[in-house]
Structure formats: C-alpha cells, structure tokens
C-alpha cells in the first residue's frame, strides 16, 4: 500500500500527522503530503520526518497522484474539503481513509451524496473508511467495566471537549457518539431529540431506537481550545475517563479505582483499514456505518437552532 496524505498540518486540532505516523508504523509507505500552500505542505512534510516518513510535499492533487501513483488517499483536511477530495480520489481509482465527519454540506441531500460516492467506489472495488476511532476502544472499556450486554443497554453517555463553539460542536464531536451507538446497537433512528445550550456548553439528549433496544443518550459538550481535551463515555452509568501521560503520550482509561493503558484507537482504526485493504473486506467504519452516522448527524445538526 502507498498512501498520500491530505492535511497533515497540526494547527490546533488536526490529527493528520498522527494518521501518517500510524500508517508508517503499520508497514505502509507514506509517499507524499498535500497542503494548500507550499509553506503548509513543506511544514507538514518536515513534521512527518520525526516518524521516519519522507513525504514529498505538493499543493496540486492531480500532480501528486500522477507523480506518486498512490493507491490510497488519507484525508485529514478541514471537513468542508472532504467531499471534493473523496470525489477526486474515487474518480482516480484510489481507496479513501477520511477523518470524520466524512462529508458535510449543510444544504445538500446527505443521503444522495453518499449513495453517489459509494456507487462510484463500488464500481471500482475501492475501500472507503471514515476515521471515527473510539469504537475500537470498546474491548478496553469492557476489561474495566465488564462485558456489555447489548440487549441490556438502557443508557449511553459521552462527554467531549471540542475546540469549536455553536453548532460546529456537533460536527466535531457527535460522530463519535453515533459510532459507539452503531457499533453496539446497530442502525437506528433518533427520537425525542432535545438540546440545552449555555454559552460554550451544550447537552444533547435523545432516544436511540434500533432493532435491538431503545437507549437514552446524553452527549455533553464543553468547548476547550487547547489540549488535553476531556473525554469520557459509558453504558448504563459505568463511565470511563480518558487520561494522557504528558511525557510518554500514553493513553489510559480510568474507572473507579482502576486504570488501564490502552492502544491509541487511531492506531487501531488505521490497522483495520489496512487489513480491510489487504483482506479485501469491508472496513469496520465502512459504508453502512458512514451512511448511518452522517444522516443522523445531519438530523441532529438541522434540529439545533443555535448558531
């Protein structure tokens, strides 16, 4: 596998650099990086060198693809650019690993856009995945809190600290909550949606109704511009909190008086995409997951009246 990376600059919140790091760690060649300007592309290329990645910088997508001949594009640029880059990648016959939200166009038919993209990708046998990495941490959650009884899930709570305010908090954070729900309860619908908003805080409540169960959901968002950002989640009141070791950058889940070091879920997300490519199977966060995630995300976003 040869990967070209779009959006490897860190800025305040970007994870493109770490996506490149984990592709390299898992035996993939990261050949190039695309930036909006020569300065940003060269800076991104330089930052990747610390991981042993020698990525040629580009500012033109077509030129990069022509010269580097990647088979996969990893997209970590700002979300308004995702649709265009995914479309270009599929048109060029390239697999796609894209940061969440997968695509976003407030005024367009989300279902129609997604169906068009996946129809094109399937006609070329391409692998398409969204990076919504936290469901990969569920086995660690179960190690701390006990096995999840899927039929017995009554409540799900998640707390995040996006760097954005207003309705953009939803786009930044809610895909994680929806991914947890999809991976545990399957495809579902949103009922009884309710919002509370106080300055830079928002709570979102709804019932997630699936064929397995109906679960009451609480999403708590508190804006925070700088790292580290708070993150917690859990089912039926058993809530784990994430912590980071500032020196080693190790990630821990904490519950009651127990602490567990975990593998970075971003690493596991990249690993799943690579194995899906090699084994010719659907990625865990693939078509059906993405369609559910993005259509429900738009439902929530459209129902929120704050700006």
> What are the backbone angles phi and psi of residue 245, rounded to the nearest 5°?
-80, 115
CA distance 238 to 55: 43
Instruction: Mark out the alpha helices in the chain (DSSP H runs).
Output: 16-25, 38-48, 61-68, 82-91, 110-123, 138-145, 168-185, 265-279, 287-303
Instruction: Answer yes or no: pTM beyond 0.75.
Output: yes
Which of 74, 95, 126 marks a domain boundary?
126
Distance CA 132, CA 283 (A): 12
CA 3 to chain centre: 18
Q: Within 13 Å and on the Cβ side, how many CA atoms surround 302?
A: 14
Indicate whether 122 and 138 sit together in one domain.
no
**In a domain? residue 235:** yes
Residue 260 lies in a domain: yes
- Going by C-beta distance under 8 Å and a sequence separation of 6 or more, which residues neighbour residue 41? 33, 34, 35, 57, 58, 59
Domain of 41 in residue numbering reads as 2-126
Whether the predicted pLDDT of 227 surpasses 80? no
Listed residue (75, 58, 86) closest to 23, CA to CA? 75
259 and 141 in a single domain? The answer is yes
Same domain, 14 and 122: yes
Give the other-Cβ count within 10 Å of 119's Cβ.
10
Whether 179 is in a domain gets the answer yes
DSSP for residue 156: E
Q: Which of 91, 108, 126 is at the close of a domain?
A: 126
Confidence of residue 238 (pLDDT cuts 50, 70, 90): very high
The total domain count for the chain is 2
Q: What is the mean pLDDT of residues 150-166?
A: 94
**Structural domain ending residue among the three candidates 81, 100, 126:** 126
Task: Judge if 238 and 200 occupy the same domain.
Answer: yes
Q: Are residues 116 and 172 in the same domain?
A: no
Q: Are 33 and 55 in contact (CB under 8 A)?
A: yes
Task: Record the tokens describing residue 9, joined without a space.
Answer: 């600059």
For residues 225 and 156, membership in a common domain is answered with: yes
Q: How far apart are CA 55 and CA 36, in angstroms?
A: 15
Could you tell me the CATH number of the domain that includes residue 113? 3.40.50.720
- Tell me: pLDDT of 228 over 80: no
**Residue 11 confidence (pLDDT) above 60:** no
pLDDT band at residue 249 using 50, 70 and 90 as cut-offs: confident
Average pLDDT over residues 52-64: 97
CB 179 within 8 A of CB 187: no
Q: What is the pLDDT of residues 264-301, one digit of tens each?
A: 999 999 999 999 999 999 999 999 999 999 999 999 99
Q: Are 131 and 99 in contact (CB under 8 A)?
A: yes
Q: Are 88 and 60 in contact (CB under 8 A)?
A: no
Whether 286 is in a domain gets the answer no
- Tell me, yes or no, whether 171 lies in a domain: yes
């Amino acid at each position: 596998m040869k990967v070209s990376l779009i959006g490897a600059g860190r800025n305040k919140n970007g994870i493109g650099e770490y996506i490149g790091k984990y592709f390299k760690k898992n035996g993939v060649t990261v050949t190039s990086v695309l930036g909006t300007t020569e300065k940003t592309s060269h800076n991104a290329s330089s930052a990747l060198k610390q991981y042993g990645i020698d990525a040629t910088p580009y500012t033109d997508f077509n030129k990069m693809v022509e010269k580097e001949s990647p088979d996969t594009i990893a997209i970590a640029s700002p979300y308004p650019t995702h649709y265009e880059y995914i479309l270009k990648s599929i048109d060029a016959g390239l697999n796609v690993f894209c940061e969440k939200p997968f695509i976003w166009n407030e005024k367009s038919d989300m279902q129609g856009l997604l169906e068009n993209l996946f129809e094109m990708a399937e006609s070329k046998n391409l692998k398409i995945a969204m990076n919504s990495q936290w469901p990969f941490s569920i086995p660690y959650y179960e190690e701390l809190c006990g096995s999840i009884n899927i039929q017995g899930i009554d409540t799900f709570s998640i707390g995040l600290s996006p760097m954005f305010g207003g309705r953009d908090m939803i786009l930044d954070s809610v895909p994680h909550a929806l991914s947890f729900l999809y991976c545990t309860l399957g495809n579902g619908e949103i009922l009884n949606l309710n919002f509370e908003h106080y300055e830079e805080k928002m709570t979102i409540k709804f019932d997630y109704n699936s064929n397995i169960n109906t679960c009451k959901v609480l999403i708590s968002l508190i804006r925070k511009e700088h790292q580290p950002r708070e993150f917690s989640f859990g089912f039926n009141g058993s809530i784990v909190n994430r912590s980071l070791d500032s020196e080693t950058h190790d990630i821990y889940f904490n519950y009651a008086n127990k602490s567990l070091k975990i593998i970075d879920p971003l690493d596991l997300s990249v690993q799943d995409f690579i194995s899906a490519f090699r084994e010719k199977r659907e990625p865990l966060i693939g078509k059906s997951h993405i369609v559910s995630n993005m259509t429900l995300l738009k439902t929530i976003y459209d129902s929120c009246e704050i700006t």
